[in-house]
Structure 1
Amino acid sequence: MAYQTFRQEYLQVPPVTRAYATACVLTTAAVQLELITPFQLYFNPELIFKHFQVWRLITNYLFFGPVGFNFLFNMIFLYRYCRMLEEGSFRGRTADFVFMFLFGGLLMTLFGLFVNLVFLGQAFTIMLVYVWSRRNPFVRMNFFGLLIFQAPFLPWVLMGFSLLLGNSIIVDLLGIAVGHIYYFLEDVFPNQPGGGRLLRTPSLLKAIFDTPEEDPNYNPLPEERPGGFAWGEGQRLGG
């Protein structure tokens, strides 16, 4: 019975969020079971480009460290905000969501060449949080029941919390920078005088990932409430 309930809940998670979160959990489990080591996963330009270990371009986004508070914290935020984006502003636009993953990952990898980071998964999570927060500026956040603020401040609050945990803020700043570049090119620049869309999802991705249009009368869940997590929970002002 429990298995059936878990399976049903798991299959209700939108596909991109489900695939990414599952890959992160399985990668961490493989490291915990000593099937692989972090040394086989981390971002190393020399090993990637000189020794053709191209899998590192992907695996460095899948490992968040050993199971512990930092891992659980990152997984909850990754799952929550990735799902909210996919069920909210990217609903019915899976190809566009995948393209955001590819664009953000490419940009982050290029920046990673200069900031000497070996794992970029946490920065990628901050990117997702940043894009969601800018697209939901009037959502009121409650962080651990200690701070109440509007959504656009969430990435900076997370950066401060990361600093308290003794982590480098370079990771968070990288995620914020890449998130802002995507948000500016996708949401701001096209609406400015003389602006236009510079980011266009390739037709191949649309052919692979986009499904026929859904029932126009379908009423999606509010973007800020995909699940029951209290960490960073949001509420619209006036709601």
Structure 2
Amino acid sequence: MAYQTFRQEYLQVPPVTRAYTTACFLTTAAVQLELITPFQLYFNPELIFKHFQVWRLITNYLFFGPVGFNFLFNMIFLYRYCRMLEEGSFRGRTADFVFMFLFGGLLMTLFGLFMNLVFLGQAFTIMLVYVWSRRNPYVRMNFFGLLVFQAPFLPWVLMGFSLLLGNSIIVDLLGIAVGHTYFFLEDIFPNQPGGGRLLKTPSILKAMFDTPEDDPNYDPLPEERPGGFAWGEGQRLGG
């Protein structure tokens, strides 16, 4: 009975969110079971381009560290904001959502060539948080019950919290920069005088991912319900 309930809930998760979060959990499980090591996953341009270990272009986005406090909150943020985007502003636009993943991943990989970053999953999560926050500007957020603010400030609050903990904010800044680049090109520039859409989802992605109509039995998670946990939405994204 419990298995059937879990399976039903799991299949209710939209496809992109389900695929990405599952890949992250499976990658972490493989590391915990010592089937693989983080040294086989991290971003290393020399190993990628000289030794053709091309899987590192993907696996560095799938590992958030060993199972623990930071991993848990990373996965909660990733799952919640990825799902709210996919069921909100990207509802019925799976191909566009996949294209945002590819666009953000490409930009972060290019930055990673020069910034000596070995795992980019946290930056990717911050990008998702940033895009969601800018598309939901009037949602009020609560940070540990101490700080109340509008959603667009959430990425900056997280970065400030990271700074207070003594962590590097380079990853946060990268996620914010890539998220803003996508938001500007997709939501702001097309509405400017003389502007236009520079980001166009390739037709092959639309043919692969977009369906003619929505499932009438699909039960979405409202995008306006951020976090959904009593501890609030302002947790640190990793260490």
Please report the TM-score for the alignment, with normalisation by the length of structure 2. Answer: 0.93
Contact 1:24–1:63 under 8 Å retained in 2:
yes
Q: 1:213 Cα shift?
A: 2.4
Aligned partner of residue 179 in structure 1, secondary structure: helix
Q: What is the aligned partner in structure 2 of residue 78 from structure 1? A: 78
Give 1:2's aligned residue. 2
Q: Deviation of residue 194 (structure 1)? A: 0.2
Aligned length, in residue pairs: 239
Shift of 1:144: 2.3
Higher RCO (C-alpha 8 Å, min separation 6):
2
Over the matched positions of the two proteins, sequence identity in percent amounts to 95
Counterparts in 2 of 1:77 and 1:231: CA distance versus 1, 3 Å: farther
1:238 Cα deviation after fit: 32
1:188-221 deviation line (CA, Å, top 9, x unaligned)? 0000000000000000000000001238999955
Output one character per residue of 1:108-140: Cα deviation in whole Å (capped at 9) or x when no partner: 000111111000000000000000000000000
Relative to structure 1, is the Cα distance of residues 188 and 232 closer, same or farther in structure 2, using a 3 angstrom cutoff? farther
Change (3 A) 1:114 1:56: same
Specify whether residues 150 and 24 from structure 1 end up closer, same or farther in structure 2 by C-alpha distance, changes over 3 A only.
same
After the TM superposition, which of the residue ranges 4-13 and 187-196 deviates more from structure 2? 4-13
Unaligned runs of 5+ in 2: none
Closer/same/farther in 2, CA of residues 21 and 167 from structure 1, 3 Å limit: same
Q: 1:199 to 1:238 in 2, by over 3 A?
A: closer
Q: Distance in 2 between matches of 1:10 and 1:192?
A: 41
Q: CA deviation at 1:2?
A: 1.3
Structure 1 23/236 Cα, relative in aligned 2: closer, same or farther at 3 Å? closer
SS state at 1:226 partner: coil
> 1-side partners of 2:100 and 2:238: how far apart?
31
Verify the 8 A CA contact 2:81 2:129 in the aligned structure 1: yes
**Structure-2 separation of matches of 1:168 and 1:231:** 24
Q: Deviations over 1:130-172 (max 9, x none)?
A: 0000000000001222221100000011112222333210000
Distance 1:93 1:235, change over 3 A: farther
Aligned residues of 2:227 and 2:233 also touching (Cα < 8 A)? no
Moved over 6 A (4+): 215-219, 234-239
**Structure 1 range deviating more: 136-145 or 199-208:** 136-145
In structure 2, the CA distance between the partners of 1:54 and 1:41, relative to structure 1 (3 Å rule), is same
CA distance in 2: counterparts of 1:19 and 1:209, whole angstroms: 13
- Check whether the contact 1:17–1:83 (CA below 8 A) recurs between aligned residues: yes
Shift of 1:14: 0.5
How far does the alpha carbon of each residue in 1:36-65 deviate from its partner, in whole angstroms, 9 at most, with x for none?
Answer: 000000000000000000000000000000
User: What CA distance in whole angstroms lies between the structure 1 residues aligned with 2:232 and 2:85?
Assistant: 15
Q: Identify unmatched segments of 5+ residues in structure 1.
A: none
1:45 matched residue in structure 2: 45
1:4 deviates by 1.2
2:234 counterpart SS class: strand
| Deviation for aligned residue 1:236 | 23
**Do 2:139 and 2:150's aligned partners in 1 also have CA atoms closer than 8 Å?**
yes
Distance 1:66 1:168, change over 3 A: same
Equivalent residue of 1:105, what SS? helix
Distance change >3 Å, CA 111–CA 192, structure 1 → 2: same
Structure 2 vs 1, CA of residues 203 and 229 (structure 1 numbering), >3 Å: closer, same or farther? same
| TM, length-normalised to structure 1 | 0.93
Task: Measure how far apart 1:181 and its partner are.
Answer: 0.2
Matched-pair contact (CA < 8 Å) for 1:151–1:234 = no
